[in-house]
Amino acid sequence: MTALARTETDDRPFKLRAGLGSRSVVLIGMMGAGKSTVGKRLATRLGLPFADADTEIEAAAGMTVAEIFKNHGEPAFRDGEARVIRRLVEGTSQVIATGGGAYMRPETRAIIRERAISVWLKADFDVLMRRVRRRADRPLLKAPDPEGVMRRLIEERYPVYAEADITVLSRDVSQDVIVEEILAALTDHVTSSVSLDSANADPC
């Protein structure tokens, strides 16, 4: 289907915006899962703003994420990250890409669960390592054993990521394919939520 034909025939973005209301779509997952690149395309399809939590943190702090870690430590970064994500999800509906560790914080998971729909971009170890090696600025690559660090993070984080509302497999296909799968999953999720709310409504 061409982009023009898709625009003319696909009314999912309009329906999804209505179904989302004030809720945002929050992408979670490991570094290299494609949250930012997929998130931008998803936001374009939905006609919503896009926000990258790391970029917002850097703007608020006036320094890069690496500089925040170096100068203030990870706890300070995570505190700032939690504040930024809360501000974003409490604002207008948008697509938000979060850092790999953001969803590990219980209060962050709680506010996302309350005010947004979470989408886990799940990627296999080999896919993640292949992608992060392309980026010299990835902190993981500075570790003596990056493969070991990645395996440990996957073991720690994947059980928590699994709490997300939606899971989509991030793999080596076109980003548009991933976006289409997210749109389909969001449509199912929003429709199911509306049906459940209607079933639980008190009779007149």
Annotated binding site: 32-37, 54, 78, 100, 138, 157
Known binding residues for Mg(2+) are: 36
Known binding residues for ATP are: 32-37, 138
- The neighbouring-strand residues paired with 96 are 26, 51
Please provide the distance, in angstroms rounded to a whole number, between the alpha carbons at the two ends of the chain.
45
Known binding residues for substrate are: 54, 78, 100, 157
Give the per-residue SS3 of 107-161: HHHHHHHHHEEEEEEECCHHHHHHHHCCCCCCHHHHCCCHHHHHHHHHHHHHHHH
Backbone angles phi, psi at 88, to 5 degrees: -65, -45
